[in-house]
Amino acid sequence: MAVGARSGHDEPDKRAGGAFGDDTTGDDVTGDERAQPPGGGTPGEGDDDTAGGSGRGPKKQRSFWKELPLLVGIALVLALLIKTFLVQAFSIPSESMMNTLQKGDRVLVDKLTPWFGSEPERGEVVVFHDPGGWLEGQQTPTPNVVQKFLSFIGLMPSAEEKDLIKRVIAVGGDTVSCKEGGKVVLNGKALDETAYLYPGSVPCQDSFGPIKVPENRIWVMGDNRQNSLDSRFHQQLPGGGTVSEDEVVGRAVVIAWPVTRWATLPVPEVFDQPGLDQAVAAAPVGAAGLAGALPLVLWRRKKLAARHTAA
């Protein structure tokens, strides 16, 4: 029995007693030591250090609904900037530009290039503000509050502004005219406008001109000549039917809607024919000739003065 005592047969009793709570420093202490993370500290701290190294839990993602107003605000600001400086949508309200543009088409107007000094050129389709009296008596639709807001930021075509859209036929310094039933004559060159005139439309049903377009102004006409109140019909107003370049909003570059009508609006080839710039180029050539002749005149006067002195 003594051997048995010395060999440790009484240890199971102690472990059993400890398991039942006789030894309050037994398994409970061992269990606490297992749960404690390496390096000490309270339980759970090791996990936080492993995850972020900062002792804090993962950052909570911001709710989509909290970010939505910010995203909408950024989108509205971008839309306003695009409408102000880049492009703007306009709705075609009449048939004056058929078949190039049909009533209800939406066109995108380039407003960027004028900021860099670009001027309207012959053959371009441009949008311009009413110079004064062109739309007198014509009713414009009254949009609701939502339409006004969307129009203001450029997400909808302008509905209440009095703007017009026509094709530039002549620019400052050009001379334009037309005889009844004939072709439009620009700087002495007859224009073949069959590529863009409405089928069956004549270039002009009434004679006008010749008209010398003042500098920084343009002469505009619709492609549907028999259904367009353009420069021809406002010659009694200030400017003689011409439009100031300052009134031009920009050039219409593409038909954006409906998708079945999508197309670009290039300058017709007739405006690239040789000779159209002859009248404009004559002034610089004459100035160059005068500059070249001036030294000769001065030399001759000096020679004559020398003769008189010698006599």
* DSSP secondary structure letters along 85-100: HTEEEEE--SSTTTTT
Catalytic residue among 83, 91, 96, 111: 96
- Our answer to whether residue 94 is catalytic in this structure is no
Tell me the torsion sign for CA atoms 226, 231, 232, 237.
Answer: positive
Q: What are phi and psi of 178, to 5 degrees?
A: -165, 135
Q: Which two tokens stand for residue 243?
A: 């439009």
Catalytic residue among 91, 151, 158, 166: 166
- Our answer to whether residue 63 is catalytic in this structure is no
Q: Which positions are annotated as active-site residues?
A: 96, 166
